């Protein structure tokens, strides 16, 4: 086995075609040799959301080009690649299949291992591309499709402590943005709107804030915002509503994180690290608020660099590298799994009726 393995990672689970090449390093923090992300915003913009068929077609058109770009930028030739890793789930099945099939073909033609990666595990481990963090650590994963508190016990070992019972946080940002007339994907732009508004102008609900442990709920916020948008006219009122939404989310995450800290500390631990990852972890207000709650409770808050919060292939290559080191390879018959979970034993939770 190569002493400093080089992994080519591929990500095509939704609307980003991404390829990255990373190399293992004695420091324990791998070197990112290239990290190419091609987003499809322009393709989906007019539909206000991702259209799976268009996304898959774009992946097919671009994957070769993006892989070549990643190789060129890394300066690594194909014969130096140790293994090919690709997202196998969760995500849109026709999109996942493009990256998976490309990875399998490449690995078999190069006669090197092929490794399937859980996209969420990529997000979960993403800060390890920049810093050494010991297991176990507490993770808040906030992305376009998921919002969960998990104990990260080690590679492939997760215990879910809480999850959203309806919308994901990224979804709540995008839906609120849409109601405010902000074009898709609205999350990052909503944050900019919020900076110009009065966060105390509108009082918004904080669903299940006093029950359900560290489970989360955001759907009620969307309904409240829909009601208010019917009565607002000026741009300033839109900024005020965005600011009130941003503040409400920060307060929900502050309170729920405190509960998650207690849940996490029920098990023996060595370091109190709190990792916040996924696309919404790019939000500056949330980063500030969660740093505050971490400091107050003796936790160290850790965020991936902004460019590693959203979907990227470096995080997929990272999980691939960890699996490569323990020779956890996959067979060519590995199928895409649109519902792949981090904690497969956690029970299904949808709807407030399931919350105690």
Site for ligand ATP in 36-95 (CB under 6 A): 90-91
Only one residue has tokens 């405010």, namely 180
Among ligand ATP, Mg ion, none, the one that 34 touches (CB under a kind-dependent 5 to 8 A) is none
Residues within window 290-349 making contact with ligand ATP, judged by CB under 6 A:
310-311
Give the DSSP H or E segment for 333: none
Query: What distance in Å separates the CA atoms of residue 300 and residue 274, rounded to the nearest whole number?
Result: 6
Shorter beta-carbon distance to ligand ATP: residue 170 or 207: 170
Angle between helices 187-195 and 284-296 (to 10 degrees): 80
Q: Of the ranges 20-28, 103-111, 144-152, 255-263, which one interacts with ligand ATP (CB under 6 A)?
A: 144-152
Binding of residue 283 to ligand ATP (CB under 6 A): yes
Residue 215 contacts Mg ion per CB under 5 A: no
Cα(81)–Cα(25) distance, rounded to whole angstroms? 15
- Contact pick of 5, 170, 207, 320 for ligand ATP (by CB under 6 A): 170
Q: Are 329 and 111 in contact (CB under 8 A)?
A: no
- Give strand pairing partners of 34: 21
- Surface-to-core class of residue 206, CB atoms within 10 Å of its CB (0-12 exposed, 13-18 middle, 19+ buried): middle
Does 34 bind Mg ion (CB under 5 A)? Our answer is no
Q: Which 153-182 positions form the footprint of Mg ion (CB under 5 A)?
A: none
| Binders of Mg ion in range 263-322 (CB under 5 A) | 311
283 binds, among ligand ATP, Mg ion, none (CB under 5 to 8 A by kind): ligand ATP
3-class secondary structure, 171: helix
With H, G, I as helix, E, B as strand and everything else as coil, classify residue 302.
Answer: strand
Surface-to-core class of residue 43, CB atoms within 10 Å of its CB (0-12 exposed, 13-18 middle, 19+ buried): middle
Residue 119 as a binder of ligand ATP (CB under 6 A): the answer is yes
Which stretches of the chain bind Mg ion, using CB under 5 A?
143, 311
What does the binding site for ligand ATP look like in residue numbers (CB under 6 A)? Answer: 14, 90-91, 119, 123, 143-146, 170, 173-174, 185, 187-188, 191, 278-280, 282-283, 310-311
């Amino acid at each position: 086995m190569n002493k400093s393995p080089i992994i080519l990672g591929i990500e095509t689970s939704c609307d980003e075609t991404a390829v990255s090449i990373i190399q293992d390093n004695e420091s324990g923090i791998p070197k990112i040799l290239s990290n190419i992300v091609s987003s499809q915003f322009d393709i989906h913009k007019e539909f206000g959301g991702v259209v799976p068929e268009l996304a898959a077609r774009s992946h097919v058109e671009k994957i070769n080009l993006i892989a070549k770009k990643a190789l060129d930028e890394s300066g690594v030739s194909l014969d130096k690649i140790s293994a090919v890793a690709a997202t196998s789930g969760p995500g849109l099945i026709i999109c996942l299949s493009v990256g998976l099939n490309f990875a399998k073909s490449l690995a078999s033609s190069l006669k090197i291992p092929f490794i399937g990666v859980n996209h969420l595990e990529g997000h979960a481990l993403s800060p390890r591309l920049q810093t050494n963090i010991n297991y176990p650590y507490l993770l808040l994963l906030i992305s376009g499709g998921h919002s969960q508190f998990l104990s990260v016990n080690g590679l492939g070992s997760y215990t879910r402590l809480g999850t959203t019972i309806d919308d994901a946080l990224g979804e709540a940002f995008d839906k609120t943005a849409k109601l405010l007339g902000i074009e898709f994907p609205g999350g990052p732009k909503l944050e900019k709107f919020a900076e110009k508004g009065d966060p105390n102008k509108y009082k918004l609900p904080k669903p299940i804030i006093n029950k359900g442990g560290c489970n989360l709920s955001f759907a009620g916020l969307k309904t409240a915002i829909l009601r208010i948008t019917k009565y607002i006219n000026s741009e300033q009122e839109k900024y005020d509503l965005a600011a009130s939404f941003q503040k409400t989310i920060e307060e929900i995450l502050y309170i729920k994180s405190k509960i998650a800290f207690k849940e996490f500390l029920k098990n023996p631990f060595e370091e109190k690290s709190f990792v916040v990852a996924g696309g919404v972890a790019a939000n500056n207000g949330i980063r500030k608020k969660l740093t505050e709650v971490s400091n107050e409770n003796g936790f160290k808050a850790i965020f991936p660099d902004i460019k590693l919060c959203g979907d990227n292939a470096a995080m997929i290559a990272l999980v691939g590298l960890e699996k490569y080191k323990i020779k956890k390879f996959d067979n060519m018959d590995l199928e895409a799994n649109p519902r792949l979970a981090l904690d497969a034993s956690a029970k299904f939770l949808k709807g407030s009726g399931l919350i105690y």
